[in-house]
Amino acid sequence: MAHVTDFREAGFGSLSEELEWRGLISQSTDRKQLSDALDGEPITYYCGFDPTAASLHVGNLVQLINMRHLQMAGHHPIALVGGATGLIGDPRQSGERTLNPKETVAAWARRLKEQIGDILDVEGGNAVRFVSNYEWTADMSVIDFLRDVGKNFRLGTMLSKDTVARRLNSQDGISFTEFSYQVLQGNDFLHLFDAYHCVLQLGGNDQWGNLTSGLDLIRKVRSATVNVFTSPLITDSQGKKFGKSEGNAVWLDPTMLSPYRFYQFWINQPDGEMDKLLRAFTFLPKEEIERLAQASRTNPGAREAQRALAWEVTSLVHGEEETTQAIDASKALFGQGDINAVSPRVLESALEGLRTAAAGAGASAGSPLDDFIGVHAGERVAQAAVGAGLFPSVSQARKTIASGGVYVNNRRVEDQDQTLADADFLDGRFVLIRRGKKALGVAKKQ
């Protein structure tokens, strides 16, 4: 676990003060009422995660971090992995979702529970409680659903929800299935209120309408006051949401996005984003975040803030060992470390970005090596370097070798006619050829 602290150790007088400073509260019910709940005696709260994909992503990570802050302050978390709502999917900004088979959704739900358990404490006095809304929804008849739940919702209110309204005015429209999602989520909050006295729900900004549906339902049928709050959506440089529906998801599952590439995502964030990202995605103390943000402004070349951010988030999600290996691989690829000390598995995963750049849109879905040029032992390094895309011609490659600017697995090539040996192929499968400090090529053994 990365540097996890509670709000006192992070330099704040209360949990609500910390969440506000970190920018983790966007929309909410009455702010004072919410602060009183967060800063008072321990409460039970929940956040829902629908298994509409095999992994959570960076957008979900914001909610997990929020849940972690509350858990460290002594509140009791419930993680609802939506076995029922996952079969439907909440309405997207555009386009109807594809409905997945029940078996697939169940398998994805198990994977999501494991990922959540890696972030939140699963043992102790306020360990996370896992629930599935399939347990209280599956046996409910249509008549019971309409009589007991549906009658408490007004169509005008449902139609005014932002995402619903947007979909209604789009070419795609919205199906009754997705339109009913807010009723199901509202019923979830009511069930958790009755079963566990859950009085707070968390979510992303795009979930505001669904969150308030539960709040309104509890107020209407139980005459009780509960709270909800959302956190800002994370966007990329084009302002698009980092989510699976946008095609640019940053997955938390290491089999879908390697720890190396996850680390690279964070370390490549621009200087201007450091203050915001350090506040939202790390548990570092306020004083340290302010120092790092200032360093990114006064000495951006050192990239101290990016390295701190990448370490904190990657070690939180993947653990310190995987993060260390990702850092070692990055250094080794560009001649700053011992390439033989990095496992072939980690090195190969580090080649994913190079593969994509080399193959473009035609990159295969298999091993990162699949799209690289094939070479064989005995082939001249100069020819292999041309095949790897580092030079336009063999003569240019030989000239650069003569000036000491070509490396095989971080070892300088001394002879223009040097050939590749069997021992040059890492794990017996691939070789790294570098021109200068930053131009890196890869070739696989034929």
Residue 392 sits in a domain of what CATH number? 3.10.290.10
Q: What percent of the chain has pLDDT over 70?
A: 91
Report pLDDT for 367: 64
Report pLDDT for 172: 74
d(CA 213, CA 190): 10
* Domain stop point among 349, 375, 392: 349
pLDDT grade for 154, boundaries at 50, 70 and 90: confident
Sheet of 406-408: strand order equals 373-375, 439-445, 430-435, 406-408, 411-412
> Which residues, including other chains, have CB under 8 Å from residue 221's CB and lie 6 or more apart?
152, 190
- Given a cut of 90, whether residue 145 has pLDDT beyond it is no
Closest to 388 (Cα-Cα) out of 415, 414, 403, 406: 406
Q: Please identify which residue in the block is written with the tokens 């995402």.
A: 163
Residues 49 and 197 in one domain: yes
Q: What is the mean pLDDT of the chain?
A: 88
Residues 289 and 361 in one domain: no
Residues 184 and 277 in one domain: no
- Given a cut of 80, whether residue 91 has pLDDT beyond it is no
**Residue 9, in any domain of the structure:** no
Lowest-pLDDT range of 148-162, 195-209, 285-299, 306-320: 148-162
Report pLDDT for 441: 87
**Residue 123, in any domain of the structure:** yes
Report pLDDT for 440: 86
d(CA 189, CA 415): 71
**Residue 127, in any domain of the structure:** yes
- Given a cut of 90, whether residue 404 has pLDDT beyond it is yes
CB atoms within 10 A of CB 92: 21
Mean pLDDT within 327-333: 84
Residues 81 and 192 in one domain: yes
Mean pLDDT within 50-74: 94
Report pLDDT for 236: 63
Q: Give how many domains the chain has, as a whole number.
A: 3
Higher pLDDT among residues 15 and 438, named by residue? 15
Closest to 211 (Cα-Cα) out of 222, 198, 195: 198
- Given a cut of 80, whether residue 156 has pLDDT beyond it is no
**Residue 252, in any domain of the structure:** no
Lowest-pLDDT range of 160-164, 304-308, 426-430, 435-439: 160-164
- Given a cut of 70, whether residue 72 has pLDDT beyond it is yes
Residues 90 and 170 in one domain: yes
Per-residue pLDDT of 223-233, as tens digits, reads 999 999 999 88
Residues 203 and 66 in one domain: yes
Residues 366 and 419 in one domain: yes
Per-residue pLDDT of 337-362, as tens digits, reads 778 788 877 787 777 656 544 544 44
pLDDT grade for 244, boundaries at 50, 70 and 90: low
Report pLDDT for 345: 78
Report pLDDT for 1: 40
Residue 363 one-letter amino acid:
A
Residues 24 and 160 in one domain: yes
Contact present, 111 and 252 (Cβ < 8 Å): no
Closest to 333 (Cα-Cα) out of 210, 201, 401, 433: 433
Report pLDDT for 287: 95
* Domain stop point among 349, 377, 405: 349
Q: Indicate the pTM of the whole model.
A: 0.85
- Given a cut of 80, whether residue 93 has pLDDT beyond it is no
**Residue 182, in any domain of the structure:** yes
Report pLDDT for 357: 46
Report pLDDT for 368: 62
Higher pLDDT among residues 48 and 335, named by residue? 48
- Given a cut of 80, whether residue 142 has pLDDT beyond it is yes
Residues 75 and 172 in one domain: yes
Domain harbouring 228, CATH code: 3.40.50.620
Residues 115 and 192 in one domain: yes
Report pLDDT for 361: 40
Residues 437 and 338 in one domain: no
Mean pLDDT within 425-430: 89
Residues 179 and 193 in one domain: yes
Report pLDDT for 336: 77
pLDDT grade for 385, boundaries at 50, 70 and 90: very high
Give the end-to-end CA distance of the chain in Å, rounded to a whole number.
41
d(CA 109, CA 75): 24
Contact present, 89 and 99 (Cβ < 8 Å): yes
d(CA 440, CA 341): 19
- Given a cut of 90, whether residue 171 has pLDDT beyond it is no
* Domain stop point among 246, 277, 293: 246
Report pLDDT for 245: 54
Report pLDDT for 33: 95
Mean pLDDT within 115-137: 95
Mean pLDDT within 110-122: 96
**Residue 110, in any domain of the structure:** yes
Domain harbouring 281, CATH code: 1.10.240.10
- Given a cut of 50, whether residue 2 has pLDDT beyond it is no
pLDDT grade for 94, boundaries at 50, 70 and 90: low
Mean pLDDT within 261-285: 93
Report pLDDT for 363: 45
**Residue 399, in any domain of the structure:** yes
Domain span holding position 325: 258-349
Report pLDDT for 356: 47
d(CA 321, CA 326): 9
DSSP annotation of 87: G
**Residue 4, in any domain of the structure:** no
